[in-house]
Amino acid sequence: MKYLIGIGNYSMGDDAVGLKIVEYIDKQMPHRDFEVIDMSDNGLNIVAYLHEGTEKILFVDSVFMERNPGESLVFRLDQVETGKELSHISTHEGDMIKILSMVQEVGYHLPPIRFLGIQPLSCDPSQEGLSDLIAEKLPEYVALALKTLNQEW
């Protein structure tokens, strides 16, 4: 099975872009050859998808990557280092790069993984919903996510 997993937080502006992409695909494409997962609540839930039956996983998330707001980039796990500082791993804060490294160290199978990172304009908790810039580009991000998920890795 292939998975498209949205990561983010609905109450943090553009940080919800991965979740909005998953919502969009779920509503617009009820018949598809992959599952969409909203992983807004707990990144540790990823372990449920790390098994031999998983063909590939595409994570979609807002990522601060020193690009212009709205720009996107597809990358592999081995092409990135996290700079996010966490006080600990919990259900309320997380870093998927660190979580994947941790579960790999304890023996979980990692299928082929890609990330679609989208540079946010604002992840301010006072911002309701996505910024206009990110919201307008949502169809573009959806198309890129679908193209990436359907390519050979």
10-residue averages of pLDDT along the chain (153 residues)? 96 96 97 95 88 96 95 92 52 72 89 97 92 98 98 95
- Ordered by start, the domain boundaries in the chain are 2-150
> Which residue type is seen at 18?
G
- pLDDT confidence of residue 109: 86
- pLDDT confidence of residue 118: 98
Residue ranges of alpha helices (H) inside 36-137 are: 96-105, 132-136
> Which residue type is seen at 100?
L
Contacts of 3 (CB under 8 A, 6+ apart): 34, 35, 36, 37, 49, 54, 56, 57, 58
- pLDDT confidence of residue 94: 64
Please determine, looking at this structure, whether the domain spanning 2-150 carries the CATH number 3.40.50.1450.
yes
What secondary structure letter does DSSP report for 38? E
Report the distance separating Cα 77 and Cα 113, nearest Å. Answer: 7
List for the chain the helix, strand, coil content (%; round to 5).
35, 20, 45
66, 71, 75, 78: CA torsion to nearest 10: 10
Closest CA to 29 of 146, 134, 137, 147: 146
- pLDDT confidence of residue 90: 42
CB 70 within 8 A of CB 134: yes
> Which residue type is seen at 122?
S
